[in-house]
Structure 1
Amino acid sequence: MIRRRTAIGVSAVALLATTPLLTACGSDAHPGAAAVVEGDRITVSQLQAQVRDVRDAQEASPQSAELIAGTAQLGRATLNSMIFDRVLAKAADDAGITVSRRDVQQARAEAERAAGGAVKLRRMWLQQYAIAPARIDNTLRTQVVMDRLSRKIGADSSTPEGQAKIVKALGDASSSMNIDVNPRYGKWDAKQVRLGGTQEPWLRPAEPQGGGGAGIGTG
């Protein structure tokens, strides 16, 4: 993946290959939970709902077969992003970073402008990142938070050194959060800030292939 400061923080970009919709049984310690983060349960039903949003959008696309085939481990990648969002929120809170609704609205306007309109943005992000239309604002909020965190700690995400600095800040937050993942989805790597076998959800291409460049510049 291309590392670049102008577009960071997209949840669920590290998609691997179709698992069936997830069953509701959890680990022995946390029945019905896909993960527990600082005592807060991410339930299997919550995870299923996000996966279903993506699948419904994919099924409505003319490229449905291709999109579904390319996101076979969508459930696991989605859980990775759901946990990451909580880690990022803690790191941002620790750094005194806040993001307003207006900030997100401005980011969306920029992203839609860069993509060539709202419809094109929705289509592009579904096709390239498996982001359901209902999750676009959440994804943009993550981008804004990540950019502000990077600036706060003096990290340039376009360089290996800057990326390492960001991972360190997120890893410190992650290590303090007592993250317990249902073994069926893997094991959380606190230092790398991801489920084992997935990629960093906060890195994505700055300009989506095929034109337009939906990546936003938040700084």
Structure 2
Amino acid sequence: MIRTTLKVAAGALAALVTLAGCGGSPIKVGAAATVGDERITTSSLGQVVDDWQREFRADPAAGQMRARFEASGQQIVVDSRSPARTALAQLLDFRVADRVAARYGAQPAPAEVELVSRQLGGPRTLTSLTLAIGLPARYQDDLLHSLAVQNTLLTRLGAVPVPRTPADETQTRQAARRANEIYRQARTGLDIQINPRYGQWRSDEGLSPVTTALSRPGVVPVTGPVVPDLG
């Protein structure tokens, strides 16, 4: 799994995503995952990966972005060895973000979505970011919405966009902890089942490895959408 660290600085959030599913019900035949009655098929997931690989190779900026993140220690993919696991985690994360928005009063206004887009550098940067995290460009609006949901939630919980004092830092960390609990509740509340070939669902830890669970150091204030530090 990827453990994430949130920081609110220079008007942007920095976090790394993790997501997956658990439960005892058997997975439906041909499904990579199910979310309630919705099925993400292995064939559709395979198409997502094929499209991503083709588009990623054609976008040098996306490759440079991923390399820069990795060099700085930012892990922006769930499993660098498995594009399918990475894509599946992101797709499930969009469902969780939708639940957070609907259930916890974090539906972003258009102006809040536009703010996040500007903070990330605009549509072109967002396209490369979507490819860098392991999804084809057609998912950039979904990614932007997920990021805006997290940003809106944190703001409404009292996070300070640009912490300048120890009190600001404390307030932001408290907001992040509350947001993390809300994301955990949202993940738990969704009926998500994962095909064992892609791992297991753990509501607190996210998508666990297919074999042995690996622990990684770090605080996990918010397990939500990806917002790498682009600075």
TM over 0.5, shorter chain: yes
Give the structure 2 partner of residue 217 of structure 1.
Answer: none
Give the structure 2 partner of residue 17 of structure 1.
Answer: none
1:73-104 Cα shifts (integer Å, max 9, x gaps): 11101111111211121122111332356654
Distance 2:106 2:62 in 1: 39
Distance 1:56 1:84 in 2: 23
Question: Which residue type is aligned with residue 7 of structure 1?
Answer: L
TM superposition score normalised by structure 2: 0.64
Find out whether 1:77 has 2:100 as its counterpart.
no
Give the structure 1 partner of residue 117 of structure 2.
Answer: 108
1:146-171 Cα shifts (integer Å, max 9, x gaps): 11112233456975544332221111
In the alignment of these two chains, the number of paired residues is 187
Find out whether 1:146 has 2:146 as its counterpart.
no
Give the structure 1 partner of residue 207 of structure 2.
Answer: 195
1:81-137 Cα shifts (integer Å, max 9, x gaps): 111211121122111332356654554355335xxxx545544653x4334332222
After superposition, the CA RMSD in angstroms is: 3.6
User: Structure 2 matches for 1:40-51, cutoff 5 A?
Assistant: 40-51=38-49
Give the structure 2 partner of residue 206 of structure 1.
Answer: 229
Give the structure 1 partner of residue 13 of structure 2.
Answer: 7
Out of 149-158 and 159-168, give the one that drifted further.
149-158
Give the structure 2 partner of residue 20 of structure 1.
Answer: none
TM superposition score normalised by structure 1: 0.67
Question: Which residue type is aligned with residue 205 of structure 1?
Answer: P
Question: In structure 1, the residue corresponding to 2:193 is in which secondary structure?
Answer: strand
Distance 1:29 1:133 in 2: 28
Shift of 1:38: 2.0
Question: In structure 1, the residue corresponding to 2:29 is in which secondary structure?
Answer: coil
Give the structure 1 partner of residue 178 of structure 2.
Answer: 165
Distance 1:171 1:147 in 2: 16
Unaligned runs of 5+ in 2: 19-24, 68-76, 162-168, 217-222
Aligned-residue sequence identity (percent) comes to 23
Question: In structure 2, the residue corresponding to 1:7 is in which secondary structure?
Answer: strand
Question: Which residue type is aligned with residue 188 of structure 1?
Answer: W
